[in-house]
Amino acid sequence: MQKLFATIAVIITGAILLNAVEDFPRFGDPHSPPNSGVSGGSVSSSVHYLQNTYLDTRVPNVVTAVLADYRGYDTLFETAVILTAGIAVFAILRVVRRKDEEESTGSEEKACSGEFSTSDSDGEGRHRVVVGTACRVVVPLAQLFGFYIIAHGHPSPGGGFQGGVVLGTSFILLALAGGLGSALGRLREDMYLRLACLGVFIYAGIGLLSLFFRRNFLDYGALSGLLQTGGEEMARSHGIFGVELGVAMTVTSVMFALFANLSTRGELKGGL
Amino acid sequence: MMEWIKTTIVPHFNFWIYVVIMMLGLWAAIGKNNLIKKLIGLSIFQTAILLLYVSMGVKEGASIPIVDETMGEAAVDFMAQGGGAAGATAFPINPDLFANPLPHVLMLTAIVVGVATLGVALALCQVIFRDFGTLEEPEILNQIQTIQDDV
């Protein structure tokens, strides 16, 4: 019965939406309203971004500049949403035990000591030679690639969100290959929680810095007084980079926090 | 029939595909009983929205929205010579050569926030499974009903 109602509702909604499809612009039309503005109206914001981004910020990648500068408020609070999601998962799932209970379960301390453990962290000692060795080769490369994506967000596709996800994935790979203990040995829980908060703090801090130069919040052009080189345009470019670093920190640690809590039901022990 | 497909579907095929994918997701979200299957439906729904936005920013014969350094420097020189008032036709950066950056920006953040919210949803599902021992919605509702009847 429920499925019948669902089918009817979906068919009606779909029919209404398909009826409106006629009025949408043709696929790939460079002069459609979303791409170049309504005819007779003012120039659309996307055309403004394309024509002025390099002049304003000296950043060739328009997406990065729009993300971190023109729409800085949006991205600041998106980052805050990601941090909130990380805190929410922590609040919902995390089981915190007292120290003496912790010790009675035993065997965990060894896995958390930072050794690259190829044995299962529940002490069964199943050796994963192939996976462990492959992981040892792939993880540094993945992290290097993540930093490359963050650092080259200006002239090529990339930035804080993308690079942060790659970095977070490298820690998840570590956890999958050597047990969660070996990943937590590299990035402890208190460290990733601090890192997530530090990312949002860096972002908001760079925005607040421009207030001290009597300019608007998140107006990185004001930082030229601090950096002393290249004028306001280069100051915006550097400000965008700082902001991207903050975003990357938050995304990296929240991705890993989500995996660590979800895969162990908040115990942060054993893992998959 | 072929004529109708050519004139109606082909110029707008991205919108047809997005409606179909979105309705698949909506059906899963309201027609399925399992909470995980509902989440999968919501993810499919979200993917359809991403497709809608990104496909609207496509321009024929355009490249990715990264301005060439030489083209950018030409624009800087152009502005330095006071050419801003001369009009957009002579401007060195032609917007038709680059895909629309705005949908990419909006969807870039939407994807990451989607992953974060999916994580919260999965955490809630784990807690529900721990407390009720099931993820089937009718069974959960039954258990809640019996708890309320006891009180």
DSSP string over B70-130: HHHHHHHHHHHTTGGGG-GGG-SS-GGGB--HHHHHHHHHHHHHHHHHHHHHHHHHHHHHH
For residue A7, is pLDDT > 60?
Answer: yes
Kindly state the percentage of chain A with pLDDT values over 70: 89
pLDDT in tens, A45-77: 888 898 888 888 889 999 999 999 999 999 999
Q: Please give the pLDDT value at position B84.
A: 55
Q: What is the average pLDDT across A225-238?
A: 85
Which among A14, A63, A81 has the least Cβ separation from residue B19? A14
Per the domain annotation, does A105 fall within a domain? no
pLDDT tens per residue, range B88-112: 456 788 888 899 999 999 998 899 8
Mean pLDDT over the full length of chain B? 88
- The residue segments making up the domain with residue B96 are 2-58+89-150
In a domain, B35, yes or no: yes
Judged by CB atoms closer than 8 Å, whether chains meet at A81 and B116 is answered as yes
Interface of B with A in 85-104 (CB under 8 A): 88, 91, 93, 95-96, 98, 100-104
CATH code of the domain containing B39? 1.10.287.3510
Instruction: Classify residue B122: in a domain, yes or no.
Output: yes
Facing residue for A6 by CB, picked from B30, B65, B130: B30
Chain B environment of A61 (Cβ under 8 Å): 65-66
**pLDDT tens-digit series, residues A113-143:** 444 444 444 444 456 788 888 988 999 999 9
By Cβ distance, the residue of B23, B75, B101 closest to A63 is B101
Would you say residue B11 lies in a domain? yes
Is the reported ipTM for this assembly greater than 0.90?
no
Q: Is residue A54 part of a domain?
A: no
Q: To the nearest whole angstrom, how far is the Cα of A21 from the nearest Cα of chain B?
A: 6
Number of domains in chain B: 1
Q: Identify which of B30, B64, B126 has the shortest CB distance to residue A262.
A: B126
Which pLDDT score, from 0 to 100, does residue A99 have? 67
pLDDT band for position A102 (50/70/90)?
low
Whether A37 maps to a domain, the answer reads no
Does position A197 have pLDDT exceeding 50, yes or no? Answer: yes
Q: A-chain residues within 8 Å CB-CB of B119?
A: 85, 89, 258, 262
Show the domain range for A80.
75-94+111-272
Out of A132-136, A169-173, A243-247, least confident range: A132-136
Cβ separation of A265 and B91 shorter than 8 Å?
no
The alpha carbon of residue A129 is apart from the nearest alpha carbon of chain B, in Å, by: 31
Contact B117 A50 (CB under 8 A): no
Q: Which residues of chain B have pLDDT under 70?
A: 83-90
Domain-located, residue A20? no
Average pLDDT of chain A, as a whole number: 85
Residue A129 belongs to a domain = yes
* Residues B60, A30: C-beta atoms closer than 8 Å: yes
Number of structural domains chain A divides into:
1
Mutate to test the interface with B, among A50, A83, A93, A258 (most CBs of B within 10 A): A50
Position B24 scores a pLDDT of 95
**Confidence check: pLDDT of A42 > 80:** no
- Whether A264 shows a pLDDT value over 50: the answer reads yes
